[in-house]
Structure 1
Amino acid sequence: MTERTLKPKAAQLHEGLLRLHIESTSGDKLVTEIGNRHVRQWHTGLLDDGPGASTVAKAYRLLRAILNAAFEDDLIKNAGVERPKERPVLTVAEVFTLAASVPPRFRALVLLATFGSLRGGEPAALRRDHLDLEARTVRIEASVSGMKTGELITGRPKSDAGARVVTLPEVIIGDLAWHLQRFNEQAPDGLVFVGEKGAQLRRSNFTKVWAKALTKSGLPKIHIHDLRHTGNTLAAATGATLKELMTRMGHSSTKAAMVYLHAPGTGTER
């Protein structure tokens, strides 16, 4: 399958799928390093990040076509050999080290994204009245998506299960309270996380902060969405049930949650 055989609209769709959903997690791997296990983990991670079932299916079909073409062209000699690394999981101590390495206004974001199992666009949509610190809960009702034009679109989660209430651990409540006193919009329904100039948080801007924090903390290179992966793994390790994991993750299917119930320990892959 070559791009010149595709109509312009299809070629644009494939370019977007490659750039946003395939290369972002597989772009640094050789074709020969991609095995069945890696594809399963990639697929689970994509479901976890919530771009939508239709987009996930299209990305999967495109990756399958690429790998099939590589196999037919003898680029893959040992397709049955699995060499992928596990997605990294931080320890609790490493999460707090990372939180201490970002600017103070983003400390609570790191902790909440981890221990609240938030998806990528959910922190930017979070409002003050979505947090109940006495009950130790966060209510997820919306998510922010960035368009190619630079416009930010706030909408409901992509599925009914995505709208959820997540119980938070006591250990981060003090940090959330401290944040609410200093860095958020002060209206009762004000945004919890905003940029340094008070504008709505953009993931592209936070990516720069993230890169600096990784260097400062000395932690291995991980993606922002690995915070959610870490939170799910830690929740499973502390005894969360399948139903509780599904609620935290915002999934109506048991498939993704089962991955965490059967995950090995919680130490970071080095």
Structure 2
Amino acid sequence: MVRGKGRKNRTPGTFGSVDKLPSGLFRAQYYGPDGRRYKAPTLFLAQQDARSWLSVVHSEIIRKAWQPPDMVVAENIKLTFREYAEQWIKTRDLADRTREDYQDWLDAHILPVLGDYPIGSIEENDIRVWYGKLNAETPTLRARVYGLCSTIFNTALADKKVPVHQNPCKIKGAGSVTRAKVIRPATLAELEVIVTTLPPRFKLMALFATWCALRFGELTELRRRDIDLVRRRIYIRRGVVRLKSKERGVAVRKVKEPKSDAGSRDVSIPPHLIPAVEDHLRDHVGPGRNALIFPSMTDENEHLAPSTFSRHWYNACRAAGRWVEAADDDPDSTDHADLTLHDLRHTGAVLAALTGATLKELMERLGHSTPGAAMRYQHAANDRDTAIAVALSKFVEPERDIEGMSNDRAKSRPPRRSRSNGSSPRRRPKI
């Protein structure tokens, strides 16, 4: 037999080809999605067996589960979601507080339902049933838990050793949530009452949170060396994070760098705050360069606890009228402030925007790396819409005034007398 004669046996319209070898056996081969030609790892006794093998490969390509033969590894089909998730969270590069949150969400909301299933067996319907049982009254937590589950599946999908061929988390919009709380920025009048009511050692915290847009963690880690009164600058290089873990019954606090490059920034201090800064440094801060600007009330070397500040903050919110009483018809409601120290950043963003600051400038001042994050702090000032309406009217007021003045002049102008020669007065040219 001439070499190659009668060996090609490809039916038009089918996937791959089957070649009959001189030995009488059949060899299957095909072109993969990467454009390369691959052969079956074994020869077949019958042509139909070779075709069946090609059909299986073709289905893998259609399902996007195909891998080059040299990359195929043995899959652990008994690997449970719990085993993979625990391995995932250990090897993931996460901030300490984020790691704690993820572990809590797994333990409380994901693993009790999905943990014992083989990870490769979980389907879209399983996710929908699980998601439907999550508490809809906590939409933000629900979205974050779903997002974590989807992220774990995405990692497993990219891991060739895990038998996951698709991400079953396909519920549209489940990983995002609309802001539930509508923040009403504090007015300058409310801010004045708040600052006046706070104890002297905390007044500058509220002023820095507003006029310099600093976060609580940034404020409580500020040290004397971070404030430059000559250049009127605050150097934000660190923040303190309060972890859920405890040592001797006290929550662990960890000093860390900002989570993004944008968080490490220099913030200019408005000139009208300089006297208050000088007074605070003199009366409430130790002499050393590392002395905390807002230390604990019991130990100047320890960070201020949020609970300590909150007691005084609530009193200030009551005085400023930013306090909500519990509803009589809702047994779950409680008295609470409708303004937080962090919300003062919104007030600062509004004031900065009214000065004409661009979005890029606001991002740098607020310490945001994306425009979307900065846009969440954009609000319309209470009197701004009225000012815009008044300004719009000015476009038509001059025209109306001119028209009115023209009519008034026409009514008061005496009739023209004809010239002595009886000729009509010369008309003025139209302008």
Query: Which TM-score bucket, shorter chain as reference?
Result: 0.5 to 0.7
Match of 1:206 among 309, 318, 330: 309
Equivalent AA in structure 1 for residue 230 of structure 2: E
Matching residue of 1:164: 265
Equivalent AA in structure 1 for residue 380 of structure 2: P
Counterpart Cα distance in 1 of 2:195 and 2:242: 24
Counterpart Cα distance in 1 of 2:278 and 2:303: 20
- Contact residue 105 and residue 145 of structure 2 kept, 8 A: no
Matching residue of 1:151: 252
3-state SS of the aligned residue for 1:111?
Answer: helix
Identity of aligned residues (%): 35
Match of 1:231 among 341, 348, 351: 348
Counterpart Cα distance in 2 of 1:165 and 1:59: 35
Which deviates the most, 230-239 or 119-128? 230-239
Match of 2:228 among 129, 132, 150: 132
Cα gap change, 1:260 to 1:147, in 2 (>3 Å): closer
- Contact residue 185 and residue 194 of structure 1 kept, 8 A: no
Cα gap change, 1:98 to 1:59, in 2 (>3 Å): farther
Cα gap change, 1:214 to 1:15, in 2 (>3 Å): farther
Q: Note the residue ranges of structure 1 that are not aligned, 5 or more in a row.
A: 1-5, 18-29, 43-56, 72-81
What do residues 138-194 of structure 1 show as CA deviations (whole Å, max 9, x unaligned)?
110100011221111111011111000111212221111110001112202211111
Deviation at 1:228, TM superposition (A): 1.4
Deviation at 1:88, TM superposition (A): 1.4
Q: 1:1-270 to 2 correspondence within 5 Å? A: 12-13=104-105, 58=144, 61=147, 86-148=182-244, 149=246, 150-197=251-298, 198=300, 199-220=302-323, 221-260=338-377, 263-266=379-382
Equivalent AA in structure 2 for residue 265 of structure 1: A
- Contact residue 233 and residue 266 of structure 1 kept, 8 A: no
Cα gap change, 1:59 to 1:176, in 2 (>3 Å): farther
TM-score by length of 2: 0.44
- Contact residue 180 and residue 192 of structure 1 kept, 8 A: yes
- Contact residue 113 and residue 227 of structure 1 kept, 8 A: yes
Matching residue of 1:45: none
Equivalent AA in structure 2 for residue 145 of structure 1: V
Equivalent AA in structure 2 for residue 61 of structure 1: G
- Contact residue 144 and residue 154 of structure 1 kept, 8 A: yes
Q: Note the residue ranges of structure 2 that are not aligned, 5 or more in a row.
A: 1-80, 87-101, 110-134, 151-170, 324-337, 384-431
Deviation at 1:266, TM superposition (A): 4.6
Deviation at 1:13, TM superposition (A): 2.2
Choose 1 or 2 for highest CA Rg. 2
Equivalent AA in structure 2 for residue 139 of structure 1: Y
Counterpart Cα distance in 1 of 2:179 and 2:253: 38
- Contact residue 114 and residue 231 of structure 1 kept, 8 A: yes
Equivalent AA in structure 1 for residue 381 of structure 2: G
Q: CA RMSD in A?
A: 3.5
3-state SS of the aligned residue for 1:251?
Answer: coil
Cα gap change, 1:91 to 1:158, in 2 (>3 Å): same
Equivalent AA in structure 2 for residue 251 of structure 1: H
Counterpart Cα distance in 2 of 1:95 and 1:237: 17
3-state SS of the aligned residue for 1:100?
Answer: helix
What is the count of residue pairs matched by the alignment? 216
Cα gap change, 1:99 to 1:164, in 2 (>3 Å): same
Which deviates the most, 112-121 or 203-212? 203-212
- Contact residue 225 and residue 289 of structure 2 kept, 8 A: yes
Counterpart Cα distance in 2 of 1:16 and 1:166: 40
Instruction: Tell me: higher relative CO, structure 1 or 2? Use CA pairs within 8 A at least 6 residues apart.
Output: 1
Counterpart Cα distance in 2 of 1:83 and 1:159: 23
Counterpart Cα distance in 2 of 1:230 and 1:172: 16
Cα gap change, 1:164 to 1:103, in 2 (>3 Å): same
What do residues 113-139 of structure 1 show as CA deviations (whole Å, max 9, x unaligned)?
111111221111101111112322211
Cα gap change, 1:11 to 1:252, in 2 (>3 Å): closer
What do residues 221-268 of structure 1 show as CA deviations (whole Å, max 9, x unaligned)?
21221011221122112211122101111112122223445x31157x
Deviation at 1:11, TM superposition (A): 7.1
